[in-house]
Structure 1
Amino acid sequence: MSFLVLDNLQKSFGPVQVVKDFNMSIEKGEFVSFLGPSGCGKTTVLRMIAGFEMPSGGTITIDGEDQDRLKSNQRNIGMVFQAYALFPNMNVFDNVAFGLKVAGKPKAEITERVNEMLALIRLEHLADRYPYQMSGGQQQRVALARALAPKPRVLLLDEPLSALDAKIRISLREEIRQIQRQLGITTVFVTHDQEEALSISDRIVVMNAGRADQIGTPSEIYNRPATRFVASFVGTLNMIDAVVADPAANTVRIGDQLIALKEAIAEKKGGDTISLALRPEAGSLVDSGDTALRGEVLSSSFLGSVIRTKLAIGSNTVSFDMFNDPDLTMPAPGEVVTLRFSAGDLLVVRD
């Protein structure tokens, strides 16, 4: 049986329904990220799990126990917010100890647990400092330790890294994942940053307009997007318009060029327009892959580690990336080149 179950979860604020028929089962010790743009409902789902918002419909169970009748302080859930939410008049030790003191734990147990948590986040030497005396990254690590100190059943993180600069974000997200694995705590992480979600999650929920458009591993979400929204939101993707030539043979026409797809399109009719997706890194100018398209170079951009070239193929603009090589000659505008890739890399996008 799954540890955290969200069954037909719904939430409305007045006439506006912000979460619609949300269903998911999360295993004990799993790290799941809710990924999506602002306003898609991901934080609302998190707040319903925490008990800060009551569902308009559906149920939430943790370890088989219905949470709907429990207040937030009865659910044994730890939460880390975007804005740290540390008590400014308390030092690091007292901030981490706060939940344990509220729970009425003995002083010796509190001291032992706080010291354990400070060692976990490697800030034992800052126990006497106040929040204003620390960097943003240090404050967020203290917030994490405070959430973990009472040994919660579930850890919720609401965009905890968005206020930090890029370099600190990368190091802290890796630290959060390492701590989560070490403790084996079931974790739900909310973010709008696809790189964050892809790099640290066991599974990702891509949310769109209050619904889960796709739930899968990072590899599944990136390589096999299930909807047009997921395809456009996660990573850089070429969207290519094609016309079905022969559904039985899985052939399509892009401009005046005929190619065969690996994915079946038997439900289509000849002449139907379909959308195809191709990642920029799937294409190459070398003689590899089983599929080729000719195109005229529109531009080539030097991006450091890669060179991104844009081609005109029929009415489509298609980008592809090559790794930088000092001896490489960049394709010139107006040059006609052949883009090669595997048929399996060309995905049929179904809404």
Structure 2
Amino acid sequence: MSFLTLTNIQKSFGPVQVVHDFNMAIEKGEFISFLGPSGCGKTTILRMVAGFETPTGGSIVINGRDQSSLKPNQRNIGMVFQAYALFPNMNVFDNVAFGLKVAGTPKAEIEKRVKEMLDLIHLGHLGERYPYQMSGGQQQRVALARALAPKPQVLLLDEPLSALDAKIRVSLREEIRQIQQKLGITTIFVTHDQEEALSISDRVVVMNAGRADQIGTPFEIYNKPATRFVASFVGTLNLIEATVVDPATGSVRIGDTELKLRDTVAAAAGGKVQLAMRPEAGSLAEGRKSDTTLHGQVVSSHFLGSVIRTRMNVGGNTISFDMFNDPGVSPPVVGDTVALKIDSGDLLVLQD
């Protein structure tokens, strides 16, 4: 049986329904990220698990126990907020010890546990400092240690990195993942940053307008998007209009090139379908094995350091493709006619 189960969860604020029949089973020790734009319902679900919001319908079960009648302080859940929420009048040691003191933990045990937590976040030498004397990244580490100190059964993180600069975000998200794996704690991480979600999660829930458009591994979410929204929201995407030649065989035409898709298409011959392709799927390399070549004119080429991102026009479609920087190969020039090699299996038919 799954450790954390959300069944038919609904939430309305007045006449506005913000979560629609959400269902998910989470295994013990799993790291789940809720990914989506602002207002999609991801934080509302997190707050319902924590007990800060009451579901309009459905049930939340943790370790076999229904949580509906339990207050937040009865759920044994640790939570880390975006704004740190540390007590400014307490030093680091007392902030981490707060939950243990409230629970009536013996003093000797508190000291031992706080030391363990500060060592875990590599701040054992800063126990006497106050929050205002620390950087944002250090404060968020303290908030994480405080959430973990009482040994919660579930850890909830509500956009904990969004207030930090880019470099600190990368290092801290990796640290959070390492700590989560070391402790084996079931974790839900809310973010609007796709790179964060894809890089540290066991599974990702892509939320859209109060619904889970897709739940899957980062590999599945990126490479096999289930809906048009997922395909466009996660990663950079080319949207290519093609003309159907033979719907039974999946034959379509892009510009002057006819190719056969992996799947059949719903539109009639002569109709239009929209295809999706990731920029990294195409290549100009002569030795690249592929089953299709698209010819077009370069309309822009941007040198980004390790990557060169080029856009070309193919039959009225603007297609972007990425190539690694090679010092021995000049990047494409605007106006050049190039041959982009692709595999038809990398083209996804968008059905909705």
TM-score by length of 2: 0.98
Matched residue SS, 1:172:
helix
Aligned to 1:299: 300
CA–CA separation in structure 1 for the residues paired with 2:83 and 2:200: 21
Q: 8 Å contact 1:294–1:337 — kept in the other structure?
A: yes
Give per-residue Cα distances to partners, 1:196-253, cap 9 Å, x unaligned: 0010000000001000011100011111111111111111110111121111221111
User: Are 1:76 and 2:76 matched, yes or no?
Assistant: yes
| In structure 1, distance between residues paired with 2:333 and 2:176 | 45
Number of the residue aligned with 1:349: 350
Structure 1: segments with no counterpart, 5+ residues:
none
How big is each residue's C-alpha offset from its partner over 1:307-329, in whole Å with a ceiling of 9 and x where there is no partner? 11111111210000111111212
Q: List aligned pairs for 1:122-133, cutoff 5 A.
A: 122-133=122-133
Structure 2 residue 272 is the aligned partner of structure 1 residue 273: yes
Q: Which residue number corresponds to residue 285 of structure 1?
A: 284
Q: Distance in 2 between matches of 1:272 and 1:68?
A: 51
Aligned to 1:327: 328
Partner of 2:251: 251
Q: Deviations over 1:85-134 (max 9, x none)?
A: 00000011110010011111111111111111111111110011110111
The amino acid of 1:343's aligned partner reads S
- Residue 137 of structure 1 aligns to a residue whose secondary structure is helix
Q: Which amino acid aligns with 1:110?
A: I
Amino acid at match of 1:196: E
Distance 2:333 2:124 in 1: 57
User: Runs (4+) of structure 1 moved beyond 2 Å?
Assistant: none
Letter in 1 for 2:101: K
| Matched pairs, number | 350
> What is the root-mean-square deviation of aligned Cα atoms in Å?
1.0
Q: 1: distance between equivalents of 2:271 and 2:15?
A: 38
Matches of 1:10 and 1:272 in 2, distance apart?
A: 39
Contact kept, 8 Å, 1:255 with 1:315, in 2: the verdict is yes
> Does the Cα contact within 8 Å between 1:250 and 1:262 map onto a contact in 2?
yes
> 1:29 corresponds to which residue?
29
Distance across 2 between alignment mates of 1:62 and 1:280: 41
Q: CA deviation at 1:42?
A: 0.4
Q: Is the contact between residue 226 and residue 350 of structure 1 (CA under 8 Å) also seen in structure 2?
A: no
Q: How far, CA to CA, are the matches of 2:123 and 2:73 in structure 1?
A: 27
Distance 1:67 1:273 in 2: 49
1-side partners of 2:297 and 2:320: how far apart? 11
Shift of 1:268: 3.6
Distance (whole Å) between structure 2 residues aligned to residue 316 and residue 211 of structure 1: 31
Equivalent AA in structure 2 for residue 277 of structure 1: A
User: Which residues of structure 2 form unaligned runs of 5+?
Assistant: none
| 2:340 aligned residue | 339
Q: Is residue 2:53 matched to residue 1:57?
A: no
Report the CA distance between 1:271 and its aligned residue: 2.5
- Write out per-residue CA displacement over residues 171-214 of structure 1, whole angstroms, 9 at most, x where no aligned residue: 00000000000000000000000010010000000001000011
CA–CA distance in structure 2, aligned partners of residues 321 and 38 of structure 1: 29
In the alignment, what sits opposite 1:187? Answer: 187
